[in-house]
Amino acid sequence: MKIAELSRRTGVPVPTIKYYLRAGLLPAGERTNANQARYADLHVQRLRLVRILLSIGGLSVAEVSRLLAELDRPRPDMPAALGSASLPPALGTPPDPPMLAAALSTTDAMIKRWGWNAGADVPARHAVADVIRALWEMDLNITDELLDCYAEAAVASVTADRALCDDVRPADTGAHRAVASIVGDGLIAALRRLADQSPRDMADDGTGH
């Protein structure tokens, strides 16, 4: 198919497709002459993936580029592929370093309670500690019990992510897992906003009845 047909099938404007090609987010098509190339279904799938990661996933072009580079490896490392994608930005240097140390200690204790495999350099570990520190700075006491409530919800959402990919062909698993994980973050955020509209007793009950 020509680039115009690729645009029609994906809903992505031709200039945007050309930008993705220059940025390396989309593999080059098969050259038919000096000014034209032919594209295949793999370009349709990759373009849809890029569009979802950029728009719904909220990733930057650089983050998408790094993610795709890992996914294109024969045996992609999914934790490395996801890295810090869609994590909240760091707060920066804390005015109170002991508070950050305490937040990291609280995070590590939670990781141990849940039996998660997370080393000292895992971006998500530092992101959690940053959030805990931010809550403390606003005088919001995030106790271990409350933190475990969030952890339980996280486990449930990851279980749902994996269930989404159960029927995917092994060759396609990497891209689908990335979409489920990153776009799932947006879904959880949207569902939280919906739940927050409910009366408190309904939200606490969890059933809406």
Place of tokens 């920066």: 92
Confidence (pLDDT) at 7? 94
Q: Residue ranges of the alpha helices (H) in 78-143?
A: 78-82, 97-114, 123-137
Q: Token pair for residue 148?
A: 């475990």
C-beta separation of 43 from 171 below 8 A: no
CA atoms within 13 A on the CB side of 3: 19
Task: For residue 165, give the 3-state DSSP assignment.
Answer: coil
Confidence (pLDDT) at 186? 86
The correct CATH number of 1-77 out of 1.10.1660.10, 3.40.50.970, 3.40.630.10, 3.30.43.10 is 1.10.1660.10
Q: What are phi and psi of 194, to 5 degrees?
A: -65, -45
Confidence (pLDDT) at 120? 84
Confidence (pLDDT) at 202? 55
pTM exceeds 0.85: no
How far apart are the C-alpha atoms of 57 and 182, rounded to whole Å?
A: 6
Per-residue model confidence as pLDDT tens for the chain (209 residues)? 999 999 999 999 999 999 999 999 999 999 888 788 999 999 998 999 899 888 888 888 988 998 888 888 888 777 777 766 667 766 766 667 888 899 999 999 999 999 998 888 888 898 899 999 989 988 999 999 999 999 999 999 999 988 988 877 766 677 888 888 888 888 898 998 999 887 766 555 555 54
DSSP one-letter string for 14-73: HHHHHHHHHHTSS---EEEETTEEE--HHHHHHHHHHHHHHHTS---HHHHHHHHHHHTS
